[in-house]
Amino acid sequence: MRKVGVIGLGHVGSTVAYTLVTKGIADELVLIDTNEAKCTAEFYDLLDSLGRLDTYTKLSMNDYKALQDADVVITAFGDIKALADGGNRFLEYSFNCQQAKQVGTALKEAGFHGVLINISNPCDVITGLLQHYTGLSRQQVFGTGTFLDTARMQRAVSMSLDQNPHNIAGYVLGEHGESQFAAWSTITVQGEPITEIAKDQHLELSELDKAARGGGWLVFNGKKYTCYAIATCAAKLLQAVFSDAKLACPASVYLEDYGCYVGYPAVIGKNGVEYVHRLELTEEEKKLLDKSALMIAQKTKEGLL
């Protein structure tokens, strides 16, 4: 039995829940939200889909005790109204720090001992707070982090070069936020370094980096939330845990060097973060990572006060 909990049923959490049910990824799904009416609505909307699906998912709602034996919990709580002006995921910081404490404590009291995947923003900081309050190991807790931002980089590069995004490999590193950066030294297109392609085709890598960083706000400004891409990322990470896929990808993982969670390549399997893959970065990329990580570490420390 693959049992999953989704905590927070806004646009992202409800899309994650819908994906897990309609794709048959979860055998049992527990929905939790402080808004009882919203939770009930999502619960019954999903229940009404079961009679037309090829798979079946057992559903329950607003019961932390039911998460005691859950394999994975996905946290997607947030304050979307705080992002009305856009531009900075830290607008949710104060609200989500409080939520992380409440949710983390509730999970600990429920006896949850599985893997926790965090989506809530600012992702890296909230992932660190959830790890602290749940008491789970750093291996068991990780965030979507720059897994999504790397997909946005792949989209930007693929559009520029008329390529399938699957042909673009490499990483966006650092904060899932404004201090993230595309580590161009790691990025290839059909195996060829993009730095060489950029010289040949006169590409402005700085513009592609900007397009990747601004991808989320491009979507947000049009519909005032994002949901499809991040839900897809969360579902893929969840499947990697269930199937022990040893999936190599960027995620928000704990780095000892910085003492906090940072978007960085890791291998995801049945235990969560199986190990972190160390990169050989350029001096400039190392400086950018240092700057981003130090900011995350400071904000995480403040969030625990």
Say if 223 falls within a structural domain. Answer: no
This prediction has a pTM of: 0.97
Is residue 68 in a domain?
Answer: yes
Q: Tell me: is residue 72 an annotated ligand-binding position.
A: no
The residue with greater pLDDT, 17 or 305, is: 17
Contact, 262 vs 286, CB < 8 A? no
The answer to whether residues 258 and 296 touch, using CB atoms and an 8 Å cutoff, is yes
Q: Which pLDDT tens digit goes with each residue over 237-249? A: 999 999 999 999 9
Question: Which residue reads 């939520």 in tokens?
Answer: 99
The reply to whether 105 falls in a domain is: yes
Q: What is the pLDDT of residue 122?
A: 96
In a domain, 156, yes or no: no
* CATH number of domain containing 84: 3.40.50.720
31 occurs within a structural domain: yes
Query: Can you give the pLDDT at residue 90?
Result: 83
Report CA 113 to chain centroid distance, whole Å.
Answer: 20
Provide the mean pLDDT of the chain. 96
With respect to residue 137, please indicate whether it lies within any of the assigned structural domains: yes
For residue 250, being part of any structural domain is answered with no
**Domain residues for 88?**
3-143
Looking at the 3D structure of the chain, how many domains does it have? 1
Q: Residue 12, annotated ligand binder?
A: yes
The verdict on whether residue 119 carries a ligand-binding annotation is yes
User: Is the backbone of residue 259 left (phi > 0), alpha (psi -120 to 50) or beta?
Assistant: left
Q: Cite the active site residues.
A: 176
Parallel/antiparallel/unpaired status of strands 260-269 and 272-276? antiparallel
Q: 99: which 2 tokens?
A: 């939520």
Determine, yes or no, domain membership for 291.
no
Q: Residue 166: what pLDDT? A: 97
117 is in an annotated binding site: no
Dihedral, 153, 264, 6, 36 alpha carbons, nearest 10: -80
